[in-house]
Structure 1
Amino acid sequence: MNTLAHDGTAMLGRQLLRMRNNPGLLILTQSMPVSMLLFFGYVFGSALAMPGAEYRAFLVPGLLVATAAGGIMTGMFQAAQDTHRGVTDRFRTLPVSRAAVPLGQAVADLVVTAAGTVPFLAVGLAVGWRVEGGALRAAGALGLLLLFRFAASWAGIWLGLLTRSEEAAGQLGGAVFLLPLLSNAYIPVEGLPGWLRTLAEWNPISAVTTALRDLFGNAPVPDGAAWPVAHPVAGALGWCAVLLAVFVPLAVHRHAHGKG
Structure 2
Amino acid sequence: MTTIAPAATHPAAASAAAPPAARPRPRALTAESVFIHRSLLHSLRDGEALLMAILLPTMLMLLFTFVFGGALDPSGGYVDYVVPGIILLCAGFGASSTAVYVARDMSTGIIDRFRTMPLRAGSVLTGHVVASLARNLLATAVVIVVALLVGFRPTAGFGEWLAAIGLIALYIFAITYLFAAIGLAAGSPDAASGYGFILLFLPYLSSAFVPVETLPGWLQWVAEHQPITPIIEAIRGFLMGTPMGDSLWWALGWCALIIAFSAWWGAWLFRRKAGRR
Match of 1:240 in 2: 255
State percent identity of aligned pairs.
Answer: 31
* Aligned counterpart, 1:19: 43
- TM-score for both structures, normalised by structure 2: 0.85
Post-superposition offset of 1:256:
2.3
Judge conservation of contact 1:204–1:236 (CA < 8 Å) in 2: yes
C-alpha deviations, 1:1-51, integer Å up to 9, x for none? 983411111100000001111111111112222111111111120221452
Deviates more, 1:234-243 or 1:195-204: 195-204
| Alpha-carbon spacing, 1:45–1:220, altered in 2? closer, same or farther (3 Å) | farther
Q: CA deviation at 1:116?
A: 1.7
> Where does residue 31 of structure 1 map in the other structure?
55
Partner of 1:129: 152
- Give the Å deviation of 1:82: 1.0
TM-score (norm 1): 0.90
Contact 1:81–1:164 under 8 Å retained in 2: no
Q: Does 2:108 correspond to 1:85?
A: yes
Q: Distance in 2 between matches of 1:258 and 1:51?
A: 55
Tell me: CA distance 1:94–1:11, structure 2 relative to 1, closer, same or farther (3 Å): same
Q: Give the Cα–Cα distance (whole angstroms) in 2 for the partners of residues 61 and 2 of structure 1.
A: 41
Distance 1:84 1:194 in 2: 44
Please name the residue that 2:271 is paired with: 256
SS at 1:47 equivalent: helix
* CA RMSD after TM alignment: 1.9
Structure 1: how far apart are the matches of 2:110 and 2:210? Answer: 42
- Contiguous gaps of at least 5 residues in structure 2: 1-24
C-alpha contact 1:131 1:138 (8 A) present in aligned 2: no
SS at match of 2:213: coil
What does the per-residue CA deviation read over 1:43-93, in whole Å, with 9 as the maximum and x for residues that have no partner?
A: 1202214523x1101111111112223355222111111112122232222
User: Which whole-Å deviations, capped at 9, do the CAs of 1:161-216 have from their partners, x for residues lacking one?
Assistant: 01131121122232123111111111111111222111111121111110000001
Contact kept in structure 1, 2:182 and 2:195, CA below 8 Å: no
1 CA distance for matches of 2:110 and 2:125?
Answer: 13
Secondary structure in 1 matching 2:200: helix
Aligned to 1:164: 187
2:104 is paired with a residue of what secondary structure?
helix
Aligned partner letter, 2:101: Q
CA contact (8 A) 1:70 1:152 kept: no
Q: Report the AA paired with residue 80 of structure 1.
A: A
Moved more, 71-80 or 177-186: 71-80
Give me the whole-angstrom Cα distance separating, in 2, the residues matched to 1:90 and 1:80: 15
- Cα gap change, 1:253/1:71 in structure 2, threshold over 3 Å: closer, same or farther? farther
Residue type of the alignment partner of 1:244? I
Q: Which runs of 5+ in 1 are unaligned?
A: 222-229
**Matched residues in 2 for 1:28 and 1:128: separation?**
23
Answer whether contact 1:3 1:97 (CA < 8 A) is retained.
Answer: no
- How many angstroms apart in 2 are the aligned matches of 1:134 and 1:216? 8
Q: Quick one: distance in 2 between partners of 1:36 and 1:3?
A: 45
- The answer (yes or no) to whether the contact 1:8–1:103 under 8 Å persists in 2 is yes
Shift of 1:98: 1.4
The residue identity in structure 2 corresponding to 1:47 is: A
Deviation string 1:136-173 (CA, Å, 9 cap, x unpaired) is: 01111111011011011111111110113112112223
Confirm or deny: 8 A CA contact 1:92 1:256 kept in the other structure.
no
Whether 2:157 is the aligned partner of 1:142: answer: no
> Which of 34, 59, 66 pairs up with 1:42?
66
CA–CA separation in structure 2 for the residues paired with 1:205 and 1:66: 10
Inter-partner Cα distance in structure 2 for 1:245 and 1:198 = 25
